[in-house]
Amino acid sequence: MKRNQFGHSPLPYLLIAPQLLIILIFFVWPAVQSVRLSFFLEDPWGLSRSFVGFDNYTSVLSNSQYHSTALFTLFFSAVVTVLALGVALLLAVKADGIIRGAKTYRVLLIWAYAVAPAVAGMIGLFLANQHIGPLFPLFNLLWDFDNKTDSADATFWLTLVCVWKQVSVNFVYFLAGLQGIPRSVREAAALDCQSGFRRFWTVTFPLLAPTGFFLMVINITYAFFDTFPIIDTLTRGRPGGSTFTLVYKVYKDGFLGADLGGSSAQSVILMVVVMLLTIVQFRFIERKIHY
Amino acid sequence: MIRFVSTLAATALLATTAQAATEITWWHAMGGKLGETVNSIVGEFNESQNACQLNATYKGGYEETMTAGIAAFRAKQAPNIIQIFDAGSATIISAKGAVTPVADLMTENGVAFDKEDYIPGVRTFYADSDGKMIGMPFNSSTPVMYYNKAALAEAGVEPPKTWEEFEIAAPKLAEKGYIALSQSHGPWIWSENFMSRHNLPMSDRNNGFDGPATKIGYNNEDLRMHFHKLKEWKDKGWYGHYGAKWDDNKVPFEKKEVAMWIGSSGSFGGLKDTTDFAFGTAGLPYWKSIVPGEPLHTFIGGAALFTFAGHEKAQNECVAQFFTHLTKPETQYFWHKETGYVPVTKAAYDLAKTDGYYDREPDAEVGILQLSEASAEWNKGYRLGFYPQIREVLYREYDKIFNGDVTVEEAFNTIEEESNELLARFAKTTGM
């Protein structure tokens, strides 16, 4: 078999080297370390260490608190993703239709993106504070709201703050996606179909699907990992351990509890779960999307 | 604030003039007003001599400070001195070779050190099973009860000494529109010090002093009874549970919604700044039905200072010098007055007495008087592994008891099961 050989220049390798180096240092190396640590039990100071095989995994997986944390994480991530995408899409569609003052609306909708997650958590903390928070009495007009002691209220409020923080990012992408749909397609659709609602679902939405899919992947990752600073400032997993996500538990057990082996086992499990989730997304959902 | 700024200025000045000074570092967990007081003590030490330059850094709360210390030690970047809280004492004391015992540090550097100079509760808590002091007691506190004087007078009640008396006073306070009680630290106040005040064992193996414990003592009839009562009081509107955070439970007292609040003796200084009403201090109530005789002392809480091993001799000398400065009666008295933490040496306590401080501020003596009450078998201290995580289990289950998710029995079964697992895990890490 004859193959065409081209003279390769080393330039491309040189250009991707910095990126590869970053991945190696900040992802591959720590990942290998945590896989290794997950098979050991060691004291907090690293003075002694003993190989325990899969003990760390079995003790994590048999812990009932870990099960409820896993369930909460799934529920929380699903709700945050659906709401953050849904609200952003609605806002983007509405903002896209506006002609006068469009820029002002956009800026107003986007600027929450500039708020750091920890700051968003603090804002949430103050807004719902029993003594100084304006939202506390407002919620209490509707029901007996107490996010410090009631698990459901704490979950509700945490979800709302996390969604609020993410909506602006999604909005930017959706708006860009909408503006990327050719005018001619829209006009043709408008001639064929009177119902704006139907036009949206049959024409606009499929054309937005690539953006939507990308955002779904991003949002699930956000709900799994990047909500950490909001949880840490707003609830710290309380009340009654009801707002613990898997990644927050890794931090609590590993850093505050000084149990590196157990925490590494948890992070390896988490890594596998997210990898599976991403594979599922790309294999089954991406197929239905036409670029 | 002016003092703080002038201290900073003085430190900066000193740094430029005395270039040969040995630099040592101290990581601590004292924020806010406490941090300012720490800074002025450090400033005083740096001004008092030229050989050493101490740099104190605030590292966040107790847990964060310990975590930072562990990370730094593993990276071989440990500070000279670190402040470790009571719950972390097993973690640091069982780390053989990581820490130089304070008793050794002082004698090696030719500084006189006699553990008999320290008040009894302080002496035993941070010592090893042979009684050798490992940590230098620093901010020692114990839970005490603060009460709103006007509220109690309005209801015509005295601050209760026992929980039996509380049950008589609480409905009268409720009648005047007050929630009688709140407290800020479930594990420390409702668990550890419930055990010390009622002479109940925290765990097997002599509260963990004789080796890694494997069985927690919390699932006992007396503590379960106490929680049944607390739940009942909460349902009657006598007890307020505002979640697990310290401040969330303190603010209702400051806002005069709650008449009595159990916090730390070290809260005294801060509370004077944040309240606009007269408050008094009383001892932590106990059940007369469990302790019929004279009351027993509580655990010494707060934190101690530990010296990381592996630093140069010159630096260790400076640490010893600083500890001498810190435990001087004058420094201790200043710290006690500013913050409400108890003086750790007998000499400092005597100085406060002869100065007439307690005649002027009788409340300030409550903490140390409570710590001087009768000793018994189980109130010397405890040494339990992964205890910060056990505290998290307690916080979690107590939340669930009060919002009605679980019964008291279910909660304590979970606490026992999970605590024992954590203790066993810790025992394995120490290889014993």
Q: What is the DSSP string of A169-188?
A: HHHHHHHHHHHTS-HHHHHH
A255 touches chain B (CB under 8 A): yes
CATH top class, domain B143-298+385-429: alpha beta
With cut-offs at 50, 70 and 90, classify the pLDDT of residue B9: low
Please determine, for residue B279, whether its predicted confidence score (pLDDT) is greater than 90: yes
- Is A258's CB within 8 Å of B386's CB? yes
Please determine, for residue A199, whether its predicted confidence score (pLDDT) is greater than 70: yes
Q: Where are the alpha helices (DSSP H) in chain A?
A: 11-23, 29-37, 55-61, 64-97, 102-110, 117-127, 135-142, 151-179, 183-192, 196-199, 205-221, 228-234, 246-251, 260-280
The pLDDT, as a whole number, for residue B88 is 93
* Mean pLDDT for the stretch of residues A216-233: 94
- Is B397's CB within 8 Å of A240's CB? yes
Average pLDDT, chain A: 90
Three-class SS state of B286: strand
The pLDDT, as a whole number, for residue A117 is 92
* Mean pLDDT for the stretch of residues B253-262: 97
pLDDT digits (tens, 9 = 90+) for B191-230: 999 999 999 999 999 999 998 999 999 999 999 999 999 9
pTM of the model: 0.89
The two tokens of residue B226 are 């106490």
B389 touches chain A (CB under 8 A): yes
Partner-chain residue, chosen from B399, B421, B430, that has the shortest CB–CB distance to A149: B399
Task: Report the CATH number of the B2-141+300-363 domain.
Answer: 3.40.190.10
Do the domains B2-141+300-363 and B143-298+385-429 sit in the same CATH topology, yes or no? yes
Ordered by start, the domain boundaries in chain B are 2-141+300-363, 143-298+385-429
Smallest CA–CA distance, residue A291 to chain B, in Å, is: 48
d(CA B196, CA B82): 26
Average pLDDT, chain B: 92
The pLDDT, as a whole number, for residue B18 is 46
Instruction: Determine whether A254 is exposed, middle or buried from the number of CB atoms within 10 Å of its CB (0-12, 13-18, 19+).
Output: buried
Higher-scoring residue by pLDDT: B241, A102:
B241
Lowest mean pLDDT among A129-143, A232-246, B12-26, B166-180: B12-26
For residue B141, which of B323, B367, B333, B388 has the smallest C-alpha distance? B367
The pLDDT, as a whole number, for residue B65 is 95
Test mutation, B235, B251, B403, chain A, max A CBs within 10 A: B403
A30 vs A34, A148, A262, B180, B401, CA distance in Å?
Answer: 6, 35, 16, 52, 40
Cβ atoms of B60 and B29 within 8 Å: the answer is yes
| CATH fit for domain A56-288, picks 3.30.413.10, 1.10.40.30, 3.30.2350.10, 1.10.3720.10 | 1.10.3720.10
- Is A149's CB within 8 Å of B241's CB? yes
B98 touches chain A (CB under 8 A): yes
Please determine, for residue A224, whether its predicted confidence score (pLDDT) is greater than 60: yes
A239 touches chain B (CB under 8 A): yes
The pLDDT, as a whole number, for residue A195 is 84
- Is B399's CB within 8 Å of A150's CB? no
Q: From chain B, pick out residues whose CB is under 8 angstroms from the CB of A50.
A: 428, 431
d(CA B175, CA B106): 57
Q: What is the SS3 string spanning B210-255?
A: CCCCCCECCCCHHHHHHHHHHHHHHHHCCECCCCCCHHHHHHHHHC
b (16+ CB within 10 A) / e for A20-35: eeeeeeeeeeeeeebe
Smallest CA–CA distance, residue B237 to chain A, in Å, is: 15
* Mean pLDDT for the stretch of residues A56-85: 95
* Mean pLDDT for the stretch of residues B127-139: 89
The pLDDT, as a whole number, for residue B121 is 76
Cβ atoms of B135 and B115 within 8 Å: the answer is no
Q: From chain B, pick out residues whose CB is under 8 angstroms from the CB of A65.
A: 396, 418
- Is B98's CB within 8 Å of A257's CB? no
pLDDT digits (tens, 9 = 90+) for B55-94: 999 999 999 999 999 999 999 999 999 999 999 999 999 8
With cut-offs at 50, 70 and 90, classify the pLDDT of residue A4: low
With cut-offs at 50, 70 and 90, classify the pLDDT of residue B270: confident
Instruction: Determine whether B57 is exposed, middle or buried from the number of CB atoms within 10 Å of its CB (0-12, 13-18, 19+).
Output: exposed
With cut-offs at 50, 70 and 90, classify the pLDDT of residue A287: confident
Higher-scoring residue by pLDDT: B8, A164:
A164
Three-class SS state of A40: strand
* Mean pLDDT for the stretch of residues A176-189: 89
Q: From chain B, pick out residues whose CB is under 8 angstroms from the CB of A152.
A: none
With cut-offs at 50, 70 and 90, classify the pLDDT of residue A3: low
Please determine, for residue B19, whether its predicted confidence score (pLDDT) is greater than 90: no
Query: E-strand spans in B92-230?
Result: 99-100, 136-141, 143-148, 179-183
The pLDDT, as a whole number, for residue B366 is 94
Please determine, for residue B317, whether its predicted confidence score (pLDDT) is greater than 50: yes
The pLDDT, as a whole number, for residue A238 is 92
* Mean pLDDT for the stretch of residues A187-192: 88
B327 touches chain A (CB under 8 A): no
- Measure the CA angle with vertex A92, ends A86 and A94; round to 5°: 105
Partner-chain residue, chosen from A150, A253, A258, that has the shortest CB–CB distance to B70: A258
Please determine, for residue A184, whether its predicted confidence score (pLDDT) is greater than 60: yes
d(CA B166, CA B157): 10
Closest-CA residue of B relative to A259 is B386
Closest-CA residue of B relative to A46 is B74
* Mean pLDDT for the stretch of residues A26-48: 92
The pLDDT, as a whole number, for residue A167 is 94
Cβ atoms of A222 and A170 within 8 Å: the answer is no
Q: For strand B143-148 and strand B258-264, is the pairing parallel, antiparallel, or unpaired?
A: antiparallel
